[in-house]
Amino acid sequence: WNVAADALLIGCLGDMIPRKGLLHLIGALPLIKQQIPNVCVAAFGREDPEYVAKIQVEIDRHDLHEQVRLVGYRSDIGQVLKACDVFGLATLEDNLPLAILEAMACRLPVVSTHVGGIPECVEDGRTGFLVPAGNQSALAESLLKLLKEPALRSQFGQAGRQKLEAEFSPDTQTRLMEQVFARFARTQNSSQPAASVRPSNEDPTYARAA
């Protein structure tokens, strides 16, 4: 990706579409860059050309060419994430993105938004930080805390992996899905497909962007 060896790398995994909020993550970068000039965001996922064009406008406007890498789709997600220091996903609306589980599997601290099922996975102040969707200042502040403190990154990353193994193992997810589908069958009017919260049976990273 042509990233400097001393860069502090924020990984972002997910389709580059409006609801995934990459534009907000890029928008937080100028605030981070003021304190950490060697910060870099590496974004992985399928690209929506129209949305990527808007991102490029922001990159040009704030002179972030050295701070952003729009890598595109990669199949070697495990290796990609292990090269990162922090995982950032500024999604505006979501259920429970598999990308967050993938990051936790790689012992990455997570900074994301307080939407959908994300708070069930990311414990604010323990495995990562959660911020209001669309709040770039709060996003920058949380990312800065982790980028400045290697020990905190390690602590959160390890706690996230432990939580993943305890609560999101295939066996646990099978039991959870049985409960969810039983509840769905009783109500018959839910519009939220619960299967999206179930991770792959492969251990413990998944070869796709959520």
- pLDDT of 166-197, one tens digit each? 887 777 667 655 665 565 566 554 444 433 33
Residue 183: the pLDDT is 58
- Higher-pLDDT residue of 112 and 3 is 112
Convert the pLDDT of each residue in 72-108 to its tens digit.
Answer: 988 888 888 999 999 999 999 988 888 999 999 999 9
From the list 172, 170, 167, 145, the residue with the least C-alpha distance to 156 is 145
Model-level pTM? Answer: 0.81
CB 138 within 8 A of CB 21: no
At 116, which amino acid appears? G
- Mean of pLDDT values over 29-42: 97
- Mean of pLDDT values over 21-29: 98
Residue 208: the pLDDT is 36
CB 137 within 8 A of CB 204: no
Convert the pLDDT of each residue in 128-176 to its tens digit.
Answer: 999 999 999 999 999 999 999 999 999 999 999 999 988 877 776 676 5
Element spanning 157, H or E: helix 150-167
Residue spans of the domains in the chain: they are 8-167
CB 41 within 8 A of CB 88: yes
8-167 to CATH, choices 3.40.50.2000, 3.40.50.300, 2.130.10.10, 3.40.630.10: 3.40.50.2000
Give the separation between CA 114 and CA 63, rounded to whole angstroms: 29
Residue 171: the pLDDT is 73
Distances (CA, A) of 16 to 42, 51, 52, 93: 12, 7, 7, 14
Distances (CA, A) of 186 to 97, 177, 178: 26, 14, 12
CB 9 within 8 A of CB 42: yes
Greatest C-alpha distance within the chain: 55
